[in-house]
Structure 1
């Protein structure tokens, strides 16, 4: 095992989800293979880390859901300021015994994401 490659999320809110991941998290929509179903790939640098698959109706409660997925970043203070400017609620967490600050947020489909900042203390 080397690393987590990507997370695949099903959504009935493709446009809103793409916008949220771009504007709030800072990922960028990019190339996606020509699958026979609609969706989007969102990139962190050159890596497509969030794959979205459009479905007609939300699957809330009908299928297994992930508890969360995590992204790593730098610039904790700037990220918190950005979330406030977008009116995105968040909760800070600290990993016991480690210098990792987690910023817990939820996307428009209520998927839990935490963005980890290594070596950056809560402001």
Structure 2
């Protein structure tokens, strides 16, 4: 067995519609097919790959804190991405990864989940 990549992240949210809109607008994912699991939710795709799975929970359950500190995407188009976030007032922190040719754009989604989007340093 050889692990090759992260398949998806599953996020609980009491703000399903807001989260769908956020991931579509700021990360360019699209809401797509999701099997019927008997609970509300959405799968957000890049191409044919469902990268972010959202599961709708009651507001009472929203305080459950997973032990995931962050999740990350690899991307291209640094300038366009940073400008999109800046235009919409999305707070970011940009950091170079010591010893690696990566620049991280750290941000939070509308539910407070930490995400970083990684770009090659030659784009910055």
Report the TM-score, using the length of structure 1 for normalisation. 0.92
Q: Give yes or no for contact 2:77–2:123 (8 Å, CA) kept in 1.
A: no
- Per residue, is there more helix in 1 or in 2? 2
Match of 1:59 in 2: 62
Match of 2:48 in 1: 46
CA distance in structure 1 between the aligned counterparts of 2:33 and 2:46, rounded to whole angstroms = 12
CA offsets per residue over residues 52-100 of structure 1, 9 Å max, x none? 000012432x343410000011010111111111111100011101110
Following TM superposition, the consecutive aligned residue runs of length 4 or more in structure 1 with deviations greater than 4 angstroms are none
What's the CA shift for 1:114? 0.2
Q: Give the superposed CA RMSD.
A: 1.3
Identify unmatched segments of 5+ residues in structure 2: none
Match of 2:79 in 1: 77
Report the TM-score, using the length of structure 2 for normalisation. 0.92
How many residues were matched structurally?
121
Match of 1:15 in 2: 17
